[in-house]
Amino acid sequence: MILSVLQAIGLFLATNIDDIIVLSLFFARGAGQRGTTTRILAGQYLGFVGILGAAVLVSLGAGAFLPPEVIPYFGLIPLALGLWAAWQAWRRRHDDDDDEAKIEGKKVAVWAVAGVTFANGGDNIGVYVPVFLNVGPAAVVAYCVVFLALVAVLVIVAKFIATRRPVAEILERWEHVLFPFVLIGLGVFILISGGAFGL
């Protein structure tokens, strides 16, 4: 069991380290808004529970619920969110709002965090399924418990990074460009790497 826990920690770190960047941008986007951390944490958990649920279902032979060729199309979620964020940023540039409104953070939606987390988890599902197939049910439960505990750690680390003064200043200045850019890039990467649309 101890070996399973250590393997689960290593597997989580290997498959989720990239989420720190996206989560940091969510924190930068929601800076100054009450409840941002709670919404990001809830969204990350919802998205990750979806990833684990899909991985467990597929490993139990329920591939009909989530055929492997469908997974790359989840890249459309961050792509759409990124395009929407880019459109909003472009519109705000041409608005005559006062400076205080421009500086104030935007409300981060739980569903947006969950959608991006799940869409970014296609590779996680691809890695978790063979692992789950090669261990017993007790080990699968141990993996899931460890993963869910580490989700909170991941969010805390992302918040810590996003709130360091030098990082926070960069994110505050460039968040309106970085946020859509990262989401669009993530969506395109998921679509292309998974062979969606014959790419």
pLDDT at position 95 is 62
Sign of CA dihedral 145, 123, 77, 56: negative
Cβ–Cβ < 8 Å for 198, 44: no
| pLDDT value, residue 156 | 95
**What distance in Å separates the CA atoms of residue 179 and residue 95, rounded to the nearest whole number?**
19
**Quick one: which of 121, 115, 158 has its CA closest to 27?**
158
47, 113 Cβ separation under 8 angstroms: yes
Evaluate if pTM is beyond 0.85.
no
Phi, psi of 89 (to 5 degrees): -65, -40
pLDDT on residue 100: 41
Instruction: For residue 159, give both structure tokens.
Output: 């918040």
Structure confidence at residue 102 (pLDDT): 44
CA 17 to chain centre: 10
CA–CA separation, 116 and 19 (whole Å): 9
For the chain, which ranges sit under pLDDT 50?
96, 98-103
Question: Whose structure tokens read 């969510």?
Answer: 26
CA distance 114 to 118: 6
Contact partners, residue 104, CB within 8 Å, separation at least 6: 32, 33
Which H or E run contains 192? helix 165-193
pLDDT of residue 50: 94
Nearest of 33, 34, 37, 28 to residue 177 by alpha carbon: 28
pLDDT at 78: 81
Residue 174 pLDDT = 78
Residue 84: other Cβ atoms inside 10 A: 13
Q: Is 21 helix (H, G, I), strand (E, B) or coil?
A: helix
Tell me how long the chain is: 199
CA distance 95 to 128: 46
